[in-house]
Structure 1
Amino acid sequence: MKIIIALVLLGILAALASAGLFMLRRPRPGQPRRDNRMARALAVRVGLSVALFLFILFSYWMGWIEPTGIPR
């Protein structure tokens, strides 16, 4: 479970980094506009974030994960 969550978080960070690179680069002639590529990367990031949230809720509902609380 921890590995899945860590991989999705890495995917979210990678999508955010690629959107930042698309924003900073100058578009070359013949390439798609950077706005389209940046928007697509940010849409992927939002989709992964929502999917991770729903997966965590589903995992809790199925009993795969349980809250542990704050240790005293």
Structure 2
Amino acid sequence: MPSNESLTHILDKAYEAKSLKEIIEASPAALQGVSDKDAEALKQAFGIKTIKDLADNKYIRWAQALVTLAAQEK
């Protein structure tokens, strides 16, 4: 498990001391670079309320799969 110190570059300061279980249940706004306005837009557009929801979103998974497959093309 990564130490919370190694997560400081991806989390807002308020979440750095929280457990990973608490972090994944937090709003996407807990991620550095994601504003409250961005998090609200994700909620409105895709029903994403938490970091876990964001990671589990089918469109994000599809996009990740396409990028992975494209890297294997010759």
Higher fraction of helix: 1
Query: Which of the pair has the greater relative contact order for Cα pairs under 8 Å at 6+ separation?
Result: 1
Query: TM-score, normalized by length of structure 1?
Result: 0.30
Greater Rg by CA: 1
